[in-house]
Amino acid sequence: MPAPLRRGSTRLAAFFALSVLASGTAVAQSGEVNVYSYREAKLVQPLFEAFTKQTGIKVNLISASAGLEQRIATEGANSPADVLLTVDLGRLTEAVRLGISQPVRSDILEKAVPAPYRDAGGHWFGISQRARVIYAAKDRVKQDTISYEELADPKWKGKICIRSGQHMYNNALFAAVVAKFGEAEAEEWMKGLRANLAQKPSGGDREVARDIAAGKCDIGLANTYYWALMLNNEPDKKAWAEATKVILPTFRDGGTHVNLSGVVVAKHAPNKANAVRLIEWLVGEQAQRLYADVNYEYPVREGVPLNPTVASFGTLKKDPMPITKIADHKRAAANLVDKIGFDN
């Protein structure tokens, strides 16, 4: 079913619906680009406002937490969507699988986005990166290095907090474990991790920091940017960040797991030229600096400086596992979560 619209997008959706009814096809709007987004509006609005100011192209934004790929597929040739903006590598590959994307050939994109972070056929492009890291209690955890494998060590029994194992961020990490070590070893690792949980998986990444600060657990898995947002932008949650520290974990013989925020151009995009222009702008230096300084993410474009808070975490040694290989094992990871009752 189509995903529910966030507040503020109802009038836009009504306009799209009237356009389709009137003409039987999506109406191309000169000077506009329509974005379906999984990103929180407040995180991408500064980017789109800067794009509009520079280019004069208006960005119409619809945000939802789920179901946008299916919505575009259901809308078919009448879809007003030009760009799908995702928060997870699995949603990029799912868009291709559903046949709702179209290939883009752009020298700008191919030069700016390293090959591991874009589809070889041009169907999707990464625009920012985030690492899945350890939040640890400053006063109780003396270690400054922890491996992903170590999370299954009994020494952490009753000391780990985590959100649902089926959440896309954990699913991507678990898929990377399956891809690296096979399903049997991944299952044993996940059982060990589950045995070390302090409580039933719940909440989000911010709540991991909250529960560590409250003494409910000592360490947890979360994305890098949440910690920086809490410290710098969310006064009511600043104490949670101040009670914790960020540790960049690595796999044995590997690096830190990273996930992608990325984009696809919709198959029936009524404003394709503007869609490509927007994506090219998003990987440009100005936008990549905004991703670094406003969203506290790792830029996908090489040479763009990190925000000082993110840089303070230390040097990120990204795991070399190909993004597409991780995506290929997401279903197996989800099945293992259910099989061992990880979330129970």
- Map out the domains of the chain as residue ranges: 10-129+260-306, 130-257+313-339
Q: For 306-326, give the secondary structure using H, E and C.
A: CCHHHHCCCCCCECCCCHHHH
CATH number assigned to the domain covering 130-257+313-339: 3.40.190.10
- CA quadruple 136, 141, 143, 147: dihedral positive or negative? negative
With beta carbons less than 8 A apart as the criterion, state whether 265 and 82 touch: yes
Q: What is the pTM of this model?
A: 0.87
Neighbours of 190 (CB within 10 A): 22
The reply to whether domains 10-129+260-306 and 130-257+313-339 share a CATH topology is yes
Kindly give the confidence (pLDDT) of every residue in the chain, 344 residues in length, as a single tens digit, with 9 standing for 90 and above: 444 444 334 333 443 443 333 333 334 445 999 999 998 888 899 999 999 999 999 999 999 989 999 999 999 999 999 999 999 898 999 999 999 999 999 999 999 999 999 999 999 999 999 999 999 999 999 999 999 999 999 999 999 999 999 999 999 999 999 999 999 999 999 999 999 999 999 999 999 999 999 999 999 999 999 999 999 999 999 999 999 999 999 999 899 999 999 999 999 999 999 999 999 999 999 999 999 999 999 999 999 999 999 999 999 999 999 888 999 999 999 999 999 999 99
Alpha-carbon span 308 to 295, nearest angstrom:
12
Largest separation between any pair of C-alpha atoms in the chain: 65
Alpha-carbon span 277 to 274, nearest angstrom:
5
Q: Is the CATH number of domain 10-129+260-306 3.30.565.10?
A: no
DSSP state of 196: T
Interacting residues of 214 by C-beta distance below 8 A, sequence separation 6+: none
Interacting residues of 46 by C-beta distance below 8 A, sequence separation 6+: 290, 294
User: Element (H or E) spanning 292, and its range?
Assistant: helix 285-293
